[in-house]
């Protein structure tokens, strides 16, 4: 696993010497790195499905109990496949989206480092090494968000994102140090049996608040949500990769990973339900007032992250299953919609929903991808979004406390997200084609094939949910 993590960093260093090779027609070859990693992790599906947990240990700073310990279980495998699988499609898309860009090799370097940092984060068993990778995702995302560094707004957005997530990282470090002092270990696996001891400690509330500080800043929960819409100044591949499938879900991963350690406590559960509910409803309402496609997708992403926090807060087996499924659902449809938005912006020259229409006549495969992603976003059969939506409803309806109120909030949120999906995925392609878009051309298949594959996956997994249920 350490070799898999290091591959992204090594490739970034390799680009320093061979960058020119990856700027031209051979740029597509960079996608071989995430593809190789995706295939590497797929070989573990059978073992993990049978209940095995694969561990790897490398001594680092033994005097302080800090090591490079890695664990591959169901949760970390889910995230690893998502990081590398969607990463592969983003790398392919980038080769056409930023074709002949003078800093394309640099962009691939940042993407590779970010991918490696994310893999290190989700595979780490040691809280201190997890913190190191956590901060590396913040640093690499700073370079990606501010990639267009001649634009003052891009630089400002990158700084704000780094400041917010960086503070969250420090919160995680302090929380990890408290946990280490209480349990005598930084290993998450060893902490799993210490929940009662941790919960009865006088510092329990403080530790939970510190973990929340890390998770809420990273996953853009209210009131720390404001950095994410600003980060939309980044190129579309960045928005797709970081802000739909990976970085913003790092906070979700942390909450799910720490639930057996810190969860099953009224403070943990109630706090997550309240913050998640506020975030999902508040952000879903904001989508009604946005006319920029990326703005709509940014706020609908924040809302979806709120739903995940809301489900984790419920803490039941049903709710955690619903959260795991919704992670897949959201990654598929939201990555599709971001890539579709990038194509519209790239080919039509605008993301303004008030003037975009009729583009199906010139971007037909893209229209199909947007339509299918919108259906999954709305939870309409036969997409995987329908299953994710129903599991969310089921877990909420069976929750013991205030089930009717919570059910009402999640239904309202889903209705608003249905509208957001319609505006982002369907509206730009319906109606008559305006004269200003008559000369819009189809992009390279390297741009429209990735979102189409993701959209088709929404349907395939919806019709055959057994493909993901066991694995």
- For the segment 346-369, what is each residue's pLDDT rounded down to a tens digit? 999 899 999 999 999 999 999 999
The mean per-residue pLDDT over the stretch 96-117 comes to: 91
| Confidence bin at 306 (pLDDT 50/70/90) | very high
Chain mean pLDDT for the chain: 92
The structure's pTM equals 0.94
pLDDT at residue 277, rounded to an integer: 96
pLDDT at residue 453, rounded to an integer: 96
| Confidence bin at 66 (pLDDT 50/70/90) | confident
Tell whether the model's pLDDT for residue 19 goes beyond 80: no
The mean per-residue pLDDT over the stretch 16-42 comes to: 87
Among candidate residues 310, 139, 163, 275, the one with its CA nearest the CA of residue 230: 163
pLDDT at residue 17, rounded to an integer: 80
pLDDT at residue 349, rounded to an integer: 87
pLDDT at residue 175, rounded to an integer: 96
Bond preceding residue 71 cis, omega within 30 of 0: no
pLDDT at residue 245, rounded to an integer: 76
CA distance 294 to 8: 28
Tell whether the model's pLDDT for residue 64 goes beyond 80: no
Which segment of 149-153, 212-216, 266-270, 379-383 scores lowest on mean pLDDT? 149-153
CA distance 104 to 97: 10
- Mark residue 235 as left, alpha or beta (left: phi above 0; alpha: psi -120 to 50; beta: remaining): beta
The domain ranges of the chain are 273-471
| Confidence bin at 191 (pLDDT 50/70/90) | very high
pLDDT digits (tens, 9 = 90+) for 384-436: 999 999 999 999 999 888 889 999 999 999 999 999 999 999 999 998 888 88
- Name, in order, each residue with C-beta under 8 angstroms of 300's C-beta and a sequence gap of 6 or more: 283, 284, 287, 334, 377, 417, 420, 421, 424
């Amino acid at each position: 696993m350490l070799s898999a993590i290091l591959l992204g960093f090594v490739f970034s260093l390799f680009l320093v010497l061979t960058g020119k090779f990856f700027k031209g027609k051979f740029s597509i070859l960079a996608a071989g790195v995430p593809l190789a990693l995706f295939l590497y992790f797929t070989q573990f599906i059978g073992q993990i499905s049978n209940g095995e947990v694969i561990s790897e240990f490398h001594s680092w700073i033994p005097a302080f109990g800090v090591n490079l310990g890695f664990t591959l279980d169901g949760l970390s495998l889910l995230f690893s496949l998502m990081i590398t699988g969607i990463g592969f499609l983003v790398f392919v898309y980038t080769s056409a989206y930023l074709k002949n860009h003078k800093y394309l090799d640099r962009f691939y370097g940042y993407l590779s480092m970010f991918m490696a940092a994310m893999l290190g984060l989700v595979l780490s068993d040691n809280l201190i090494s997890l913190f190191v990778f956590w901060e590396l995702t913040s640093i690499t995302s700073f370079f990606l968000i501010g990639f267009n560094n001649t634009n003052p707004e891009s630089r400002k957005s990158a700084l704000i994102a780094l400041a917010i997530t960086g503070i969250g990282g420090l919160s995680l470090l302090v929380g990890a140090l408290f946990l280490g002092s209480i349990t005598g270990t930084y290993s998450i696996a060893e902490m799993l049996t210490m929940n009662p001891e941790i919960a009865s400690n006088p510092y329990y509330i403080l530790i939970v608040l510190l973990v929340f500080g890390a998770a809420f800043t990273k996953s853009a929960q209210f009131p720390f949500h404001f950095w994410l819409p600003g980060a939309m100044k980044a190129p579309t591949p960045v928005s797709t990769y970081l802000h739909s499938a990976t970085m913003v879900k790092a906070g979700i991963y942390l909450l799910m990973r720490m639930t057996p350690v810190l969860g099953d406590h009224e403070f943990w559960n109630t706090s997550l339900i309240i913050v998640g509910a506020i975030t999902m409803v508040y952000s879903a309402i904001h989508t009604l007032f946005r006319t920029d496609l990326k703005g709509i997708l940014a706020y609908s992403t924040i809302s979806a992250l709120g739903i995940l926090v809301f489900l984790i807060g419920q803490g039941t087996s049903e709710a955690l299953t619903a959260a795991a499924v919704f992670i897949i659902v959201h990654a598929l449809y939201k990555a599709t919609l971001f890539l579709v938005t990038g194509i519209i912006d790239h080919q039509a020259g605008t993301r303004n929903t008030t003037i975009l229409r009729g583009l199906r006549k010139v971007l037909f495969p893209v229209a199909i991808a947007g339509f299918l992603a919108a259906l999954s976003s709305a939870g309409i059969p036969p997409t995987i979004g329908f299953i994710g939506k129903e599991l969310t409803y089921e877990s909420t309806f069976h929750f013991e406390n205030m089930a009717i109120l919570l059910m009402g909030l999640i239904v309202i949120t889903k209705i608003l997200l249905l509208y957001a999906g319609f505006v982002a995925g369907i509206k730009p392609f319906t109606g008559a084609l305006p004269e200003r878009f008559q000369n819009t051309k189809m992009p390279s298949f390297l741009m429209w094939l990735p979102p189409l594959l993701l959209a088709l996956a929404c349907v395939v997994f919806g019709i055959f949910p057994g493909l993901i249920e066991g694995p």
